[in-house]
Amino acid sequence: MGMIFQQNSTDLKEMPWFRAVEGFSDAKKSSESKRDDDPDEEVLPRVIEKTILPKITAFAKNVWDPLSTSQTENLTQLCDNVFEKQVLSRRECSQAKQDLINTVVLRMKQSVEEDVFIPLYPKSTVEDKSSPCSKFQGRRFWSAVENTLWVNRWLHASQKGGSKILEVGQLSPSQ
């Protein structure tokens, strides 16, 4: 899990522990008659829910920089992988998934409040593209654009995971 923010990190389904647990669940399915309430089908979702999601949440809370393109892309891909390809549980939304989404929302909200500020200067000040005011305004503008792109990416990721929990209103600054 330490490779969350590295480029080309291993897909969850390619990790040996994942294949072993998945193999256990698949072996039980093929050797026994299918039962709707088979607890073995819950092994992999529970492992992810109890071990993987809390680790991802801790990374999102303590390490992730929402303005880092590579970190945000890698974290988003990992969550897409977990939310979309792996049904976490028969329950609608686990507490671990909710905690992860809440952490992401909180970090994005903090980023919006702290990093999205576009100063307004007189037109004459910003027309000179080499002026410090113009450069600062440009950096702030592109920071806001980047932040907006990642908010949209997370909105998409949360909806793909069957969760409509993440809403734009959650990210607007506190009144």
For the chain, the domains span 12-171
At 4 the pLDDT is 57
Amino acid identity, residue 128? D
pLDDT tens-digit map of 3-46 = 555 655 667 778 888 888 888 776 555 555 555 566 777 788 88
Long-range CB pairs of 140-145, under 8 A, 24+ apart, other chains included: 140/116, 143/67, 143/115, 143/116, 144/115, 144/116, 144/117, 144/118
At 165 the pLDDT is 45
At 149 the pLDDT is 80
Q: Which positions of the chain have pLDDT values less than 70? A: 1-10, 26-38, 84-93, 156-175
CA distance linking residue 60 with residue 30, whole number of Å:
38
Please spell the DSSP secondary structure of 38-94, one letter per residue: -GGGGHHHHHIIIIIHHHHHHHHHHT--TT-HHHHHHHHHHHHIIIIIS---SSSS-
pTM of model > 0.75 = no
